Structure 1
Amino acid sequence: MSHILIGGATGLVGRALVQQLTPNNDLWLPCRHAGTARNGHHWLVTDFAHLTDLNLPVPIDTAFCALGTTRREAGSAEAFRRVDLDYVLSFAELARRHGCRRLVVISSLGANPHSLFLYPRTKGEMEQALLAQPWERLVIVRPSMLLGQRPPPRRSEQISQYFHPLLAPLLRGSLTRWRAIESTQVARAMVHLATGEGIDIIENEHLLTL
């Protein structure tokens, strides 16, 4: 049994990760509100502003980070960057402090630290910070729009899910990278990619094939 740390376990991809990694692993789940009690689930209710203060009783083998929000949900650009940059880096620090050398993290299609736009720029800055750290295995996945039932639902994702069956057949060739992807498919890819060594940045078109 592996000791696995998951950030964002109550979110869309995070819930899929928890489901796929249960019951063969020991899951440590920092969160604002505890999820369903189950054997092997250790819900750690915490203030994410003090995430690095957590002390776990076991070493961590692998960490999966699915933390993320939108500017609309966060309420401001500063609050958005706090979640998608600061909290992700704090999560990585927490994992490394507990011996973890394997991290799989969700970024976004189009991540670019030099972008003029807040969302891709923040994701790109997050990627750069993690790439500068000494991980034995680091995987950054860049999905397009996520499909799935998110509580509460995001309007942009609701619209995407409505039109996806009509648009998907048109998104071929170089346009494949823009296809929406099921959250469960992203989670399966993340679990698959956690093994091995080295650094990989996985674009959406590759995620669709895994």
Structure 2
Amino acid sequence: MATESRVALVAGATGLVGREVLAILLADERYCRVHALTRRPLDFSHPKLEAHVVDFARLPKLPLVDEVFIALGTTIKVAGSQEAFRAVDYDAVVAVARAGIASKATKLGAVSALGAHPKSSVFYSRVKGEAELALELCGYPSLVLARPAMLAGDREALGQPGRSGERIGLALTRALRPLIPSNYQSIDARDVAAALVKAVQKARPGVWRLESGEMQGAAPRR
């Protein structure tokens, strides 16, 4: 694709990974337009950015795009119930993916989770696995699924509620990092975003999974 001709769509641009994906795409000269689907308004603007506040249960017709990035996600505690969790992590994810196909997108990059499997006995992992399977059936020539372990990032700066279990888990994994296999170490949201964008840009036809260990350190460090 020619320089400055790509158009991308990002769903979940107010979250840890989605915010980083959006920043990468806006800074990349190969993209002339980036559409962001969010549940609340963004607190910044950019010449290439077109923000859309939407109801993910009733998406409007979307503009034509080349690539779709989905970084939607919540927790059962934040959502309030298993049904509400599934509405975000399965229903909204699949709805955006299908809308992307209708908008002529040929590449999809989505954030899933470590351990995702449609037959998992763990509800969270099962929903993530079911979403992965549904995305495979959407018909994208190229699909990249990022499967990070516990995400590290500043949620409070995004106005998101704190997650006490996550804070404890992050502290524990950092302390024991040398003893933990790379796939199970906590990972910076910037690394997930950088690895996902790069993989989508280079993806050949097929379904590709990025495990957490191979995404570690993907983002440049200042």
Scaled by the length of structure 1, the TM-score of the pair is 0.92
* 2:54 alignment partner, one of 43, 46, 51: 46
Provide the alpha-carbon RMSD of the alignment: 1.4
| 1:165-184 paired onto structure 2 within 5 Å | 165-171=174-180, 175-184=181-190
1:67 to 2:72 alignment: yes
TM-superposed CA distance for 1:76, in Å, is: 0.5
Determine the C-alpha separation between the residues in 2 that align with 1:55 and 1:67: 17
Consecutive unaligned residues in structure 2, runs of 5 or more: none
Aligned to 2:139: 134
Aligned to 1:163: 172
Please say if residues 98 and 138 of structure 2, whose CA atoms lie closer than 8 Å, have aligned partners that are also in contact: no
Q: State the one-letter code of the partner of 2:85.
A: F
Q: State the one-letter code of the partner of 1:18.
A: L
Aligned to 2:213: 205
Please say if residues 150 and 170 of structure 2, whose CA atoms lie closer than 8 Å, have aligned partners that are also in contact: no
Q: State the one-letter code of the partner of 2:17.
A: V
Taking only the aligned residue pairs, the percentage that are identical comes to 35
Determine the C-alpha separation between the residues in 1 that align with 2:129 and 2:9: 23
Consecutive unaligned residues in structure 1, runs of 5 or more: none
Aligned to 1:7: 11
Q: State the one-letter code of the partner of 2:152.
A: L
Determine the C-alpha separation between the residues in 1 that align with 2:48 and 2:165: 34
Aligned positions, number: 204
Determine the C-alpha separation between the residues in 2 that align with 1:165 and 1:127: 29
Q: State the one-letter code of the partner of 1:157.
A: E
TM-superposed CA distance for 1:104, in Å, is: 0.4
Determine the C-alpha separation between the residues in 2 that align with 1:33 and 1:176: 34
Q: State the one-letter code of the partner of 2:177.
A: A
